[in-house]
Amino acid sequence: MPKVDRRIAKSQEAIKKSLIELMSEKNFDEITIQDISNHANVSRGTIYLHYVDKFDLLDKLIEEHINEMGEICETTSEMDFKDANLPWFEYLENNYLFFSTMLASKGAPSFRRQFHEFLIEEFKDEVDTSQGKNHELNEDVLLQFIVTSYVGMVEWWITNGMPYPPQVMAEQVGMLLERNL
């Protein structure tokens, strides 16, 4: 992997952080490249050097977080649900501004859809309706139920200011998943 110049990385982080902060203040459609440039204290040219436009910036930012969540899933795949959920909820907590903005923003409805699709892929191997308590259920129905519930729990937790610490959420959601899968 080629080494990224620290100045470039610092500029990109400032640009991404600025977009999220601006989105927490106003609708994505109202944000201009100039707004992002001013907020990040970089030139418009610097933004265009890395991103085609604000939509490309938003897409890459979402993709970055989805990829990070994928890495968490890879490292927790052999754990039980309670233990596997802790790194998830810690990641959500550490990236609160991003998730609260994406889940509350009218300018980023694609995030919720992408998050849902990502979780479908992650949970589909966990769903088994061939035997046990779920043998009478359709796999697609069970999978949609689990994923929609998980997204809803995350959305509730984030939009309510994380009323419980990640450890409690990991245990509670882990127990719910174990009961239903």
Name the nearest CA neighbour of 109 among 28, 31, 19. Answer: 28
pLDDT tier, 39 (very low <50, low <70, confident <90, very high otherwise): very high
pLDDT of residue 105: 66
pLDDT in tens, 61-102: 999 999 999 999 999 988 898 899 999 999 999 999 999 999
Mean pLDDT of the region 126-150: 88
Least confident of 52-56, 112-116, 134-138, 163-167: 134-138
Indicate the residue type of 42.
V
Checking if the pLDDT of 139 tops 80, the result is yes
Mean pLDDT of the region 144-154: 94
pLDDT tier, 104 (very low <50, low <70, confident <90, very high otherwise): confident
Classify residue 74 by burial, with Cβ atoms within 10 Å: 0-12, 13-18, 19+. exposed
Residue ranges per domain, the chain? 1-51, 59-180
Mean predicted lDDT score pLDDT of the chain: 91
Q: How far apart are alpha carbons 168 and 173 in whole angstroms?
A: 8
What does the chain come to in residues?
Answer: 181
**Over pLDDT 90: what percentage of the chain?**
70
pLDDT of residue 9: 87
pLDDT of residue 95: 95
Q: Is 60:144 a contact under the CB 8 Å cutoff?
A: no
DSSP 85-143: HHHHHHHHHHTHHHHHHHHH-TT-HHHHHHHHHHHHHHHTTT---SSGGGTTS-HHHHH
42-49, long-range: CB < 8 A, 24+ apart = 42/11, 42/14, 42/15, 46/11, 46/15, 47/15
pLDDT in tens, 105-123: 665 778 989 999 999 999 9
Q: Span 1-51: which CATH code?
A: 1.10.10
pTM given for the model:
0.88
Checking if the pLDDT of 125 tops 70, the result is yes
pLDDT in tens, 10-38: 999 999 999 999 999 998 999 999 999 99
Q: Is 89:170 a contact under the CB 8 Å cutoff?
A: yes
Q: Which fold has domain 59-180?
A: Tetracycline Repressor; domain 2 (1.10.357)
pLDDT of residue 133: 86
